[in-house]
């Protein structure tokens, strides 16, 4: 994760890695130390809400702008976050949460959301589409914006390193449209009041996020007090006043769709020429959907060897981990290990269906562009990570596509 917006994309991974300082402010120091993400476009809002919420709760607060090692727009790595929570921060303000991207069994706890935000489609006011040409859409590299953009039909991607540059690509006419984190649009408009944009929603499970306060393991007693303060601020209008300029416009909210619509999917099926039918186990399904389990299908999983697992792990680290997490736990894309992906019994997905989807849609920045055998090696790594045993038979592209075996996790290797 290498941009300021990636701080937000890291939300779910941090659920499983959070810790609180042994000498926490909650253990008796003068005030609770509250950090924000470096480079975050919503820092001013997060600090303002933190001041008012902690004041309302009767809790002394000290802002710790130097809580993270990063000083620029390079984002926050998991290692940096661990260090911050171990040494300088008790609470993180502006922590984004998404039901789709969140991991499980985390040590952090979270307040109620104080702002519904997310990813929107941005165009310059008065712009119009060019007939006959592919639409150039800007998105921030390795963020949810990229996952949303890559699933849209007939577009040419312009990948930018920061959310600010993504908005700027539209402002300068380098892209006709941008998929971007909405607070970045607000921050850009404040800095460039002469620029005016039209905002629309995006039909994606990765569009909807809520800003919260995140507390470490020793913050259980603190969270109810902050929740009560936020509820009181919402009731008397103070929260609305603080967040008014940052709230999603009605044009964006109108496009929201339930996350359940996209269960087990990285986004809606694309409608362009790439959206051809894919096969798995002799059955067809629109690209973008997994093949469902047929109870009458044979249950023998395809074989793979250890060399494939090792190569697949290397490929996964370079091409998949930035979205699905270094440990397959899910970041800004679903987890690829555990009960939500491969339950121990009663799977709803087949190995061939998952493989066919992966080989057609992934990685998000170059879908379907890897070698067939590379996809097969990644699938071998995924199977091994979910408890399937390696053997002497090499998994091939054809064998992976043809598998009608339910994807059920096995005993750990």
Highest mean pLDDT among 17-26, 196-205, 325-334: 196-205
Beta-ladder partners of 199: 122
SS3 23: coil
Tell me what the mean pLDDT of segment 355-364 comes to: 83
Q: How confident is the model at residue 290 (pLDDT cuts 50, 70, 90)?
A: very low
What confidence tens digit (pLDDT) does each residue in 21-80 have? 333 445 445 688 899 988 889 999 999 999 999 999 999 999 977 667 654 444 565 667
SS3 369: coil
Instruction: Look at residue 316 and tell me whether its pLDDT is greater than 90.
Output: yes
How much of the chain, in percent, has pLDDT values that exceed 70?
71
Q: How confident is the model at residue 89 (pLDDT cuts 50, 70, 90)?
A: confident
Instruction: Look at residue 119 and tell me whether its pLDDT is greater than 70.
Output: yes
**What is the predicted pLDDT for the residue at 138?**
93
Q: How confident is the model at residue 225 (pLDDT cuts 50, 70, 90)?
A: very high
**What is the predicted pLDDT for the residue at 133?**
67
**What is the predicted pLDDT for the residue at 191?**
95
226 φ, ψ to 5°?
-70, -40
Alpha carbon 154 to chain centroid, angstroms: 23
**Structural domains of the chain ordered from first start:** 6-112+210-257 (3.40.190.10), 117-200 (3.40.190.10), 263-402 (1.10.760.10)
Nearby residues of 321 by Cβ (< 8 Å), 6 or more positions away: none
Distances (CA, A) of 265 to 137, 206, 269, 325, 393: 22, 11, 9, 16, 29
Higher pLDDT, 79 or 380: 380
Nearby residues of 118 by Cβ (< 8 Å), 6 or more positions away: 181, 182, 202, 207, 208, 209, 248, 252
Contact between residue 169 and residue 123 where contact means Cβ atoms under 8 Å apart: no
- Gap between the Cα atoms of 387 and 409, Å rounded: 6
Tell me what the mean pLDDT of segment 388-400 comes to: 93
Contact between residue 42 and residue 183 where contact means Cβ atoms under 8 Å apart: yes
Q: How confident is the model at residue 2 (pLDDT cuts 50, 70, 90)?
A: very low
Instruction: Look at residue 227 and tell me whether its pLDDT is greater than 50.
Output: yes
Beta-carbon-side half-sphere exposure of residue 83 (alpha carbons within 13 Å): 10
Instruction: Look at residue 216 and tell me whether its pLDDT is greater than 80.
Output: no
**What is the predicted pLDDT for the residue at 282?**
33
Q: Is the pTM here over 0.75, yes or no?
A: no
Nearest to 337 by CA among 10, 13, 5, 2: 13
Instruction: Report which DSSP code applies to 3.
Output: S
**What is the predicted pLDDT for the residue at 400?**
93
Instruction: Report which DSSP code applies to 384.
Output: H
Provide the mean pLDDT of the chain.
Answer: 77
**What is the predicted pLDDT for the residue at 319?**
87
Higher pLDDT, 225 or 289: 225
Instruction: Look at residue 173 and tell me whether its pLDDT is greater than 70.
Output: yes
Q: How confident is the model at residue 115 (pLDDT cuts 50, 70, 90)?
A: very high
Highest mean pLDDT among 20-24, 91-95, 184-188, 351-355: 184-188
- The tokens describing 42, both together, are 């919503």
Q: How confident is the model at residue 84 (pLDDT cuts 50, 70, 90)?
A: confident
Nearby residues of 278 by Cβ (< 8 Å), 6 or more positions away: 284, 285, 287, 356, 357, 359, 360
Instruction: Look at residue 256 and tell me whether its pLDDT is greater than 90.
Output: no
* H helix intervals, 325-409: 351-361, 372-385, 397-402
Tell me what the mean pLDDT of segment 69-98 comes to: 71
């Amino acid at each position: 994760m290498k941009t300021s917006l990636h701080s937000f994309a890291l939300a779910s991974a941090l659920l499983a890695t959070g810790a609180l300082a042994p000498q926490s402010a909650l253990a008796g120091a003068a005030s609770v130390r509250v950090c924000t993400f470096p480079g975050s476009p919503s820092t001013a809002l997060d600090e303002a809400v933190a001041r008012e919420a902690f004041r309302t709760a009767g809790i002394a607060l000290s802002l710790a702008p130097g809580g993270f090692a990063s000083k620029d727009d390079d984002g926050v790595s998991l290692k940096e976050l661990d260090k911050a929570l171990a040494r300088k921060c008790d609470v993180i303000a502006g922590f984004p949460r998404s039901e789709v991207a969140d991991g499980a069994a985390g040590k952090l706890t979270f307040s109620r959301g104080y702002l519904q935000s997310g990813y929107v489609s941005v165009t310059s006011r008065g712009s119009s589409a060019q007939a006959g040409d592919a639409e150039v859409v800007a998105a921030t590299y390795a963020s949810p914006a990229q996952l949303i953009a890559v699933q849209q039909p007939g577009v040419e991607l312009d990948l930018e390193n920061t959310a600010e540059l993504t908005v700027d690509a539209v402002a300068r006419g380098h892209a006709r449209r941008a998929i971007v984190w909405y607070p970045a649009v607000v921050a850009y408009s404040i800095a460039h009041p002469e620029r005016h944009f039209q905002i629309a929603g995006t039909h994606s499970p990765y569009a909807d996020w809520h800003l919260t306060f995140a507390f470490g393991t020793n913050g259980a007693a603190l969270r109810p007090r902050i929740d009560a303060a936020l509820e009181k601020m919402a009731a008397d209008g103070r929260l609305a006043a603080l967040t008014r300029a940052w709230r999603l416009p009605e044009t964006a909210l109108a496009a929201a769709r339930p996350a359940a619509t996209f269960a087990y999917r990285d986004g809606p099926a694309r409608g362009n020429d790439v959206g051809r039918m894919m096969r798995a186990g002799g059955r067809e399904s629109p690209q973008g959907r997994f093949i469902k389990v047929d109870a009458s299908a044979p249950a023998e999983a395809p074989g793979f060897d250890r060399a494939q697992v090792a190569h697949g792990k290397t490929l996964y680290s370079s091409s998949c981990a930035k979205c699905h997490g270094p440990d397959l736990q899910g970041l800004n894309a679903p987890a690829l290990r555990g009960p939500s992906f491969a339950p121990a019994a009663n799977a709803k997905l087949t190995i061939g269906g998952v493989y066919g989807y992966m080989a057609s849609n992934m990685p998000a920045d170059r879908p379907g562009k890897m070698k067939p055998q590379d996809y097969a090696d990644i699938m071998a790594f995924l199977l091994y990570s979910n408890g399937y045993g390696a053997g002497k038979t090499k998994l091939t592209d054809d064998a992976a596509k043809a598998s009608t075996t339910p994807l059920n996790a096995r005993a750990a290797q």
